[in-house]
Structure 1
Amino acid sequence: MKFSLACLLGGMAMAVAASGALAGVRPALTGYSEGAQIMHVTPTRDQIDAINGVVYAQVKSLRAVRQLHMSFLVPRNGDLKPAILYLPGGGFTSADYDKFIEMRMALAQAGFVVAAAEYRTVPDTFPDPVVDGKAAVRYLRAHAAEYGIDAKRIGVLGDSAGGWLAQMLGVTNGEKSFDKGDYMNQSSDVQAVATLYGLSDLLRIGEGFPDDIQQVHRSPASTEALLVNGPAFRDKPGAGIGQTPDKAMQASPLGHINGKKPPFLIMHGSADTLVSPWQSQRLYEALKSIHSPVQYVLVAGAEHGDIHWFQPPVIDKVTQWFRQTLGAPIKVSQDKRDHPNANL
């Protein structure tokens, strides 16, 4: 009997100890800690999950179907988070969407779901990039629950040609002609636009530059001309951007300044020798003229996409502006946290 009682008491003690461990009681730092340097860590930020290779759209060409991809940075918590869609620059000829990790990671650490998307470029022509950008926004809304996104708060960020595309998404809110493809029951409108050294007027990219630079932009081989008019082929002669001003303005953000616009943050480098700072000045003036919320920041001494744009003051400015404009993540109830995807 004594032996049985002792075993019972011992078992109870072990059960109590186990239940304490399960309840989160930390074991004492004894024995196995001999000689170790003890580090005490207080968690201050969320884990960020990287999700790559997501197909957000499929587009048909003459003989093939092309998949368009995006990648995600998702703070791992149960909050309902605003989302930022990043659109990369590349002179209208490339869309390397996994770049600018410094900016994207800072936005994720600030509590945003950050999606980076590729889009069609030259030799594809306008409006294909805008169609793709809007498809990416619709995808985010259609899959908001899977990534913990607040579908009512989606912003867009782009640099250079990606800045042009971000601007186009913002100024064409409500224009249905660019909405094609999947998830047509979702809105492609965005609630905030940040554009870095972007293009607002394809007719005047070299404004204020020496004439030899402006002559380059008059060429039918300039990338903006190829975007709008395509290459010369068979019975199509191609054309310089200035030869088709109506088409050029339809493909320019300044050609869509009417109606209500989302808030804009416009940033440009004062020393930019590739895209004239007048591009951002003109956009700022146009948005101000219709009393649309807009901030314009000129980064002193910054060239086009140079090291200035990777520094904390620039990244912090963009991050803080999105937080002020879109708001902070929203805490959700415990029952929603128990959802299988609630940890995203």
Structure 2
Amino acid sequence: MMSCIVIAQEQGAPPDDQSIARARRLMRKIDKDRNGTFEKTENARTWKRYQRLDADGDDCLTVQELGSDRTAYLQTGGRRSLDVVYKTVGNRDLLLDLYYPTEMSPSDRCPVIVYTHGGGWAAGSKQGAARGSFARVFLDLVGHGFAVASVDYRLCKPDSGVAMRDCVIDCKDAVRYLAKHSDSLGLDAGKFFVMGDSAGGQIAQMLLLSPSESLAGDPELASTPFQLVAGVSWYGPCDFERMDLFNHDDRPDFRDRFEPRILGTSGGTDAAEAKRELLENKLQRYREISPVNYLAGDSPPLLMIQGDKDTTIPVKHAYYMKERAEAVSASVQIMIIRNAGHNWRMVDAEIDPSREAIEDRTVQFFVDHR
């Protein structure tokens, strides 16, 4: 069930077997005419994402070219275990990537940071750990002796029946898997941490604050307890019941855009009945996936970093979480970034503190709680 540990690819090296296997899975998704290659004419938007890999400039990508993508994984120079199957749902394997500290002996047991990617619960992948600020944070943490586990989970696609709670359940099962196999994986089961951004920030908060036995998924993993030490949420929401927290400019015509992803209704002849049944339990569903409801005096420390001009996940969430934490004496720190929109986009002026300061604060928070 567990992938073997391999040495990280060096820049310019030919794709290894795991990179080719990933490229084949990707090809099955994007090769609409099923001819074994992906042409620019098949989907212009998808082509833009991968055109840098077109080494021979023929407007056509092969599996070998897709497998050469060095941005898909963290280039740590250390050991890594890619595409580990942590559970299977239906006929789909759910995967995680595990990166080890750059200096680690076979007998070591290292702390691990579980990364849950963003994407509105409907997009994104574990490869997000290897991009932008996330790569810089995780490479720094690997250098500090942490392992990093980047997790894929089911996504809330139309008519899939997948709801936000399923995203949380999958990520909880990933943590349960890591805890269950901590000895063979070389992980310290007493030093698990979590980090996520946007939707992944909400998932990270849920993993950190909700009881380990709640939201059970795979029966083979359900009995495995885990304890998280601390966590970081970048621009993640904390409460779905308080929809006013999502209304950044207090518009009177504000609408709830999350209902389909929270309820997870699917199509088919029974869709109307299924939705009616879900609506009867709507409030329960909203409360269940709101991390703020799990705050307690003994909750593990949480750092929330949010932009003051974020219109996707307004800064109100950080202030509200801090307010609720103080009421129950929970450990929640907030860092507010001025002039920052979602994903630390600059709004009107340079963000302050800088992106580098955000990365440094994130790394130091984990180091301080190790």
TM-score, length of structure 2 as denominator length: 0.67
Q: 2:136 aligns with which of 89, 102, 105?
A: 102
Q: Deviations over 1:288-309 (max 9, x none)?
A: 2111122111112221113569
C-alpha distance in structure 1 between counterparts of 2:178 and 2:156, whole Å: 25
Residue pairs, 1:75-224, within 5 angstroms = 75=101, 76-78=103-105, 79-99=108-128, 100-123=134-157, 124-178=162-216, 180-203=218-241, 204=243, 205-211=245-251, 214-215=254-255, 218=256, 222=257, 224=258
C-alpha distance in structure 2 between counterparts of 1:292 and 1:126, whole Å: 25
Question: Which residue of structure 2 lines up, in the alignment, with residue 247 of structure 1?
Answer: 285
Does the CA-based 8 Å contact 1:73-1:105 persist in structure 2? no
Residue pairs, 1:1-344, within 5 angstroms = 47-60=77-90, 65-75=91-101, 76-78=103-105, 79-99=108-128, 100-123=134-157, 124-178=162-216, 180-203=218-241, 204=243, 205-211=245-251, 214-215=254-255, 218=256, 222=257, 224-231=258-265, 233=267, 234-237=269-272, 238=275, 244-258=282-296, 260-306=298-344, 311-325=355-369, 327=370
Query: Residue 153 of structure 1 aligns to a residue in which SS?
Result: strand
Shift of 1:132: 0.9
Does the CA-based 8 Å contact 2:306-2:337 persist in structure 1? yes
Shift of 1:81: 1.6
Shift of 1:241: 9.0
Shift of 1:165: 0.4
Q: Which sections of structure 2, spanning at least 5 residues, go unmatched?
A: 1-75, 129-133, 346-350
Residue identity opposite 1:286 in structure 2: R
Q: Which sections of structure 1, spanning at least 5 residues, go unmatched?
A: 1-45, 328-344
C-alpha distance in structure 2 between counterparts of 1:183 and 1:242, whole Å: 30
C-alpha distance in structure 2 between counterparts of 1:206 and 1:146, whole Å: 43
Change (3 A) 1:181 1:105: farther
Does the CA-based 8 Å contact 1:173-1:261 persist in structure 2? no
C-alpha distance in structure 2 between counterparts of 1:317 and 1:324, whole Å: 10
Change (3 A) 1:211 1:53: same
Query: Residue 292 of structure 2 aligns to a residue in which SS?
Result: helix
> Root-mean-square deviation (CA), in Å?
2.7
Change (3 A) 1:231 1:177: closer
Residue identity opposite 2:249 in structure 1: F
Percentage of matched positions with identical amino acids: 26
Change (3 A) 1:91 1:144: same
Q: Which has the larger radius of gyration?
A: 1
Q: Deviations over 1:232-286 (max 9, x none)?
A: 6344445899993332112211233346311111110111111111112111221
Structure with the larger RCO, 1 or 2 (CA within 8 Å, 6+ apart): 1
Residue identity opposite 2:246 in structure 1: G
Does the CA-based 8 Å contact 1:113-1:147 persist in structure 2? no
Shift of 1:175: 4.0
C-alpha distance in structure 2 between counterparts of 1:200 and 1:158, whole Å: 13
Aligned residues: 271
Shift of 1:141: 1.5
Shift of 1:73: 1.5
Change (3 A) 1:235 1:213: same
C-alpha distance in structure 2 between counterparts of 1:94 and 1:306, whole Å: 19
